[in-house]
A and B are shown apart, each in its own frame.
Chain A
Amino acid sequence: MSAVSQSTSTLRSRGVQTIRFFARFTLGQRWEHLLLFVSFTVLFLTGVVQKYRNEVWSQDILSSPERLTLIRNIHHIAAIVLTIEVIYHLARAIYLLARRKMSPAMFPTWQDVKDAGRMIGYLLFLTKEKPKFGKYNFEQKITYWFLFFGIGIMVITGLIIWFPVQAANLISGAIVPAAKLAHSTEAIVAGVFVLIWHFYHVHLERLNLSIFTGRLNEDDMRKYHAAEFERLTGESTDAPDRGGQV
């Protein structure tokens, strides 16, 4: 909300363009994403090598029994990092939400279902107008909640196959083969999801680096988070643009 709108018109007349930026993520959230990004990547790469350790390409990487142990240890360390991050994320979210210090913008609402319906209509050329999204559009909420539950499954099943004897003693032996199947399948599902869904939305559709910089420029706000832009500035996004991209 670092609006610098007062002197915009005078500056524009002198050929200087100012871009308004909107705060989007706190420093803590950016660090959390970085931690998630690194641990997810490490876990995926070291996991895939183990999942396919019967294949030749994987065995070229696992060139010695020591290397296999090393890869397993790296996987376990990254898993601990991710688990701590998940616990921190949940604790912080619960604390802030309970104290009403954080907006529950990430929770799915009925509006998201309507947005999704209208977005599909727009993509199928049935409607001309793109729906106006709030701070997090339904695509981003899908990304968050898909990975939220996916990582939850990965953490639980991962702990089960890391400590199978204890898990069986505690609950039942039947969860061990099921956890092994779920861990190895969910990993691929999550990997494919991130590669197709998330990478398209943050790299191809537009290069969205706001999770690293913490801020989003006015053009992207107008285009992708119109409802949020209107809520923050009180300006309408329907008016013709003043020389932005669209």
Chain B
Amino acid sequence: MVRPKLLLPFVIIGVIAVVTVLALTAPVSAAPIGSPQSAGRVFDPPAQQTEQYCLTCHGNPDLKITLPSGEELSLYISADQLKSSVHSPAGIECEACHTNIKTFPHPAITYQTRRELSRSYYEACKKCHPANYDKTMDGVHAKAAAAGNLNAPICTDCHGAHDVQPPAQPRSRISQTCSQCHQDVYNIYKDSVHGEALIKEDNPDVPVCTDCHGVHNIQDPRTAQFRVETPELCAGCHADPKRMSKYGLSTDVYSLYQTSWHGVDISVYKANWPTIWHDSAVCTDCHGVHDIRKTEDPKSSVNPANLLATCQKCHKDAGPNWTSAWTGHNQIDPQRTPFLYIVDRFYGSFATSVLWVCIIYVALQIIHAIVDRVRRSLR
């Protein structure tokens, strides 16, 4: 029995516990209601009135001013360009983004440089696209900007300003967009198995830049974290039977990699120490990054002719025999790896027979010992 006097502390603790739980859970459950997920159409159906009005001046190709930096800023807006963008036909007109211009004559321009102007106006994108805007805040480009690089891309650098187009029509548009800054990478990529299929055939299965790097929250691919996640990234397509069967590619590559020495090491690091760099090979170490080619391609880093040199990047002392140690993401096979096949078959039957012989023989001995003991006690 608990005396009433002793009950009081428990009541107090109980009340505190209940209040704490409520206080902790309440904001979590309330959050989604207020979150700005309703990024749809904010404006009424097309009126096309302000646009017409603005273009009476801004339709003049010669309209321009000089900024304090000395840069020339053209104020001409092509009506055709506006018409073919995604926004204008949807009724999203000038004042949706140029929120500071409400009167004519306009307030004086205070921007010192063209870049300052761009970096100021792109904030308007956030009004309608808050989710993507927030994502960019986690990306490498925002970090570069925060570190002082004002040339780091903002929304309009990739999507355009007055001429915003659907970003992935055709898909190669994405890679070309990135190439505006990353020309060197693009030049390598366009000759790779992925890039060539994208640019020449508009292949829907090959990755464009954003498929691997992410879209708005692009992460630094040079980190240990990105490295240990690489196999999974590649497996997104290369372990997908539907996609791979079209090209006669094996989907075993990922599962066999995972059981390999390299793969197990990487998965241990991924599970436990993702931020600690580990040198065990991931896909890109052997196959290349932007320059991935078919194994048959003589320029491929994993072509039999180049394989040893690729292995030697890590296994410095490897000799010509070394490549035969590599089973090449293949199942154990009597033709390809006869010795491994024999050892595997031997242990397949040997291990089970040893286990069963041990169990049966010892079980017989135990049964006999029990029967003996029972007999003795009955004697």
Residues of A within 8 A of B (CB): 53-54, 59, 62-65, 68, 120, 122-125, 146, 164-166, 168-169, 171-178, 180-182, 185-186, 188-189, 192-193, 196-197, 200, 204-205
Residues of A within 8 A of B350 (CB): 189
Complex interface bits, B173-201 against A, C-beta within 8 A gives 1, otherwise 0: 00000000000000000000000000000
Chain A hits for B135, CB < 8 A: none
Chain A residues whose CB sits within 8 angstroms of the CB of B318 once the complex forms: 165, 168-169
27 contacts between A and B (CB under 8 A): A54-B264, A62-B268, A64-B273, A65-B273, A65-B276, A68-B268, A120-B364, A123-B361, A165-B322, A168-B318, A168-B321, A169-B317, A169-B319, A169-B321, A173-B324, A177-B337, A177-B340, A178-B340, A178-B342, A180-B261, A182-B347, A189-B347, A192-B354, A192-B355, A196-B362, A200-B365, A204-B366
Cβ contacts B351-379/A at 8 Å (1 or 0 each): 10011001101101111110100000000
Assess whether A189 is in contact with B351, with CB atoms less than 8 Å apart.
Answer: yes
Is there contact, CB below 8 Å, between B339 and A174? yes
Q: Which of A64, A146, A165 is the most central at the interface, judged by chain B CB atoms within 10 Å of its CB?
A: A165
**Smallest beta-carbon distance B178→chain A, Å:** 35
Check if A168 sits within 8 Å of B324, measured CB to CB.
yes
**A175 CA to B369 CA in the complex, in Å?**
45
Among B264, B278, B315, B367, point to the contact of A53 (Cβ < 8 A): B264
Residue of A nearest to B344 (CB): A181
Q: How large is the interface on B (under 10, 10 to 19, 20 to 34, 35 or more residues)?
A: 35 or more
Residues from chain A with Cβ under 8 Å of B271 in the complex: 59
Contact for B267 among A54, A62, A172, A177, CB less than 8 A: A54
For the complex of A and B, the 6 pairs showing the least CB-CB separation, nearest first, are A173-B324, A173-B325, A176-B325, A123-B364, A196-B358, A169-B319
Q: Does B251 contact A (CB under 8 A)?
A: no
Is B323's beta carbon under 8 Å from chain A? yes
A123 touches B325 (CB 8 A): no
Question: By the criterion CB–CB under 8 Å, are A168 and B268 in contact?
Answer: no
**Closest-CB distance, B354 to chain A (whole angstroms):** 5
Q: Mark B288-313, 1 if CB is under 8 A from A, else 0.
A: 00000000000000000000000000
Residues on B with C-beta less than 8 A from A205 are: 365, 369
